[in-house]
C-alpha cells in the first residue's frame, strides 16, 4: 500500500506542477484595475494541491500511519479491470472510424458472449436492441446524431424516412 500511496502522491505533485506551468500563461498576481489575474486561481490552488500531496508523501515516510501488508492490486482481480479498460478504449477509438452502430454491438458481443459467456440468444437480443434503442432515442427523438464513420452512407435512407 505504501508504494501505491507514494506513487499516487507523486503523480499528483507532477500534475500540480504541470497545471502551475500552464496557469502562468495568464498573470498570476494582481492586475491593476482587474483584481487577481486570470491565472491566479488555478495557479495558487495547484500550489496548495502540491503541498497537500507533498504532505501525504512525507507522512508515508514517518511511520505515523499504520503499515498494512495489503497489496494495492490483487493479481486475480486486476485482469477483469484491465479487460474492461482495454475493451472500452478500443470501443471509443473505433467509434469515429466504423461508427457507433458497429462499435457498440461489437463491444456487447465481445463482453457478453466471449468474456461473460452468456447464451447466444441473450447476446443477440442485447446487441440488436441496444443500437435500435439508441437510434430511436438519440437520433429520432432528440435529433442528436451519433458518429457513424464509414457507415454514414448506409444511414441516408433512414434519415430520409425520419427527418
Partner 1 sequence: METITLLADGFATSLSPLNILIVVLGVTAGIFIGAMPGLGSVNGVALVLPLTFIVPPASAIILLAAIYYGAMYGGAISSILLGIPGASTSVATTFDGRPMAQQGRAGFALVAAAVASFVGGTISVLLFTAFAAPLAKLALAFGPAEEFALVLLAFTTFVGLSGDDPLKAVVMVCLGLVLTTVGLDMISGQPRLIFGDLPGFYSGVSFLVLAIGVYGVGEILHTVENSRTAPTVTNPKLTFRDVWTGCREMVRYWRSISIGSFLGFFVGMLPAAGATPASLMAYGIARTTSKDPDSFGKGNVEGVAAPETANNAASTGSLLPMLTLGIPGSPTTALLLGGMVMWGLMPGPMLFIEQRDFVWGLISSLYTANVAALLINIALIPLFVWALRMPFTVLCSLVLVLCIVGGYAPSERMHDVWLIVGFGVAGYLLRKANYPLAPLVLALVLGPLMERSFRQTMIAEQGNVLAFFERPLSATFMVIALVLLLLPALKYLRRASGKRTQPAE
Strands annotated E in the chain: 30-31, 35-36
**Measured between alpha carbons, how far is residue 140 from residues 32, 66, 75, 161 in Å?**
53, 57, 45, 10
Q: Could you say which of 98, 106, 124, 146 contacts partner 1 (CB under 8 A)? A: 146
Count of C-beta atoms within a 10 Å radius of residue 78: 12
What's the burial of 130, exposed, middle or buried (CB within 10 Å: 0-12/13-18/19+)? middle
Q: Which is nearer to partner 1, 22 or 158 (CB)?
A: 22
Closest distance of CB 12 from partner 1, Å = 6
Report the interface residues with partner 1, using CB under 8 A.
4-5, 8, 12, 19, 22-23, 25-26, 30, 34-39, 41-42, 45-46, 48-49, 52-53, 55-56, 59, 64, 72, 74, 77-78, 80-81, 84-85, 88-89, 91-92, 95-96, 100, 104, 107-108, 111-112, 115-116, 118, 122, 126, 130, 134, 137-138, 141-142, 144-147
Amino acid at each position: 500500500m505504501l508504494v501505491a500511496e507514494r506513487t499516487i502522491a507523486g503523480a499528483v505533485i507532477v500534475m500540480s506542477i504541470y497545471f502551475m506551468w500552464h496557469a502562468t500563461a495568464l498573470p498570476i498576481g494582481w492586475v491593476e484595475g482587474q483584481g487577481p489575474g486570470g491565472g491566479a486561481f488555478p495557479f495558487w490552488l495547484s500550489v496548495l494541491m502540491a503541498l497537500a500531496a507533498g504532505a501525504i508523501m512525507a507522512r508515508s515516510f514517518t511511520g505515523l500511519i499504520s503499515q498494512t501488508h495489503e497489496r494495492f492490486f490483487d493479481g486475480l482481480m486486476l485482469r477483469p479491470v484491465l479487460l474492461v479498460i482495454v475493451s472500452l478504449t478500443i470501443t471509443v477509438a473505433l467509434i469515429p472510424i466504423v461508427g457507433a452502430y458497429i462499435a457498440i454491438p461489437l463491444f456487447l458481443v465481445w463482453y457478453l458472449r466471449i468474456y461473460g459467456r452468456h447464451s447466444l440468444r441473450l447476446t443477440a437480443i442485447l446487441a440488436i436492441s441496444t443500437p435500435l434503442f439508441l437510434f430511436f432515442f438519440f437520433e429520432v427523438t432528440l435529433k442528436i446524431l451519433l458518429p457513424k464513420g464509414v457507415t454514414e452512407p448506409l444511414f441516408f435512407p433512414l434519415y430520409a424516412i425520419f427527418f
